[in-house]
Amino acid sequence: MKLTYLGTAAAEGLPAVWCNCPVCRNAKEKGGREIRTRSQILIDDCLLLDFPMDTYMHMLAHKLDLSKIDSVLITHAHMDHCYPQEFILHGAPFAHKMTRPVVTVYGNSTVEKTFKEYTRAEIRPDIAPTAPVSAIKPYDNFDTVSGYNVTALPAKHTVDEDCLIYSISKNGKTVLLFNDSGILPEKAYDRMAETGSRFDLVSFDCTYGHARHGEGRHMGTLDAADEREKMAARGLVHADTKYVLTHFSHNCLLSHAELEHREKELGFIVAYDGMVVEI
């Protein structure tokens, strides 16, 4: 399984859209890995985690054939993870010779409602069936067209929305992807243990950088370290499990270089836009 971190920023991007803080000024000056677009992960060439407004830029930067994607897993309805307007263009006359004719979008009931609301006025009747939305809820399990087994798990993020993280398995490998979440309830880990989950890679929200945020709707590295211990205690990870940090905000007040230096000692990989991890 190959994971490409197409984007690794929180909602405002890095540098943030309107910001002149030291971290954002440093990113503009140095470029490279200091620049972060909104969070999105590509698995192999056929599965996407989240669909932010920066997806078009990701396609350009990485020369992607996005029409190869058969499934999109949406964590929640915030605009940096869910940009339905792009699906209005999923077919002629806007797109020709697509590799796959249909892409299924999976998300909670709020995501389903958001897709309908933001595409209703412009989507053509012949295009709408090519991008169906499948409403799912925490602990639902399903298989994608390309053979991934997916389990939706409850994230801790937005009040009044069943935000999700995802466990994804194929060919004997399993990953757990937190793209936007605070620390999970103990029962979520207990449920994973009951089903025999064992992760080869865990990707954590790290909005707050090298910090412990506690009971909020995001994490810092120290929260991720705490979660890693909970997983280890239940046998959900193993000696070779890889741990990745992503979804960074400029408000963590650390550059990519500084984060990389700090988190290496704790055994975390600090993601950057375009980073590829294979398991």
Q: Residue 182: its pLDDT value, please?
A: 85
Phi, psi of 85 (to 5 degrees): -55, -30
Q: How would you classify the pairing of strands 47-49 and 71-73? A: parallel
pLDDT in tens, 181-210: 888 888 999 999 999 999 999 999 999 999
- Taking only the tens place, the pLDDT of each residue in 38-64 is 999 999 999 999 999 999 999 999 999
pLDDT tens digits, residue range 209-220? 998 876 777 889
Range of the domain at 22: 2-278
Q: For residue 210, what are the CA distances in angstroms to 28, 56, 83, 118, 186?
A: 22, 30, 29, 36, 23
Both tokens of 266, joined, read 């704790």
| pLDDT for the residue numbered 214 | 67
Instruction: Judge contact between 173 and 198, C-beta under 8 A.
Output: no
Domain count, the chain: 1
Positions of the chain with pLDDT under 70: 214
Domain CATH for 243: 3.60.15.10
What pLDDT was estimated at residue 183? Answer: 87
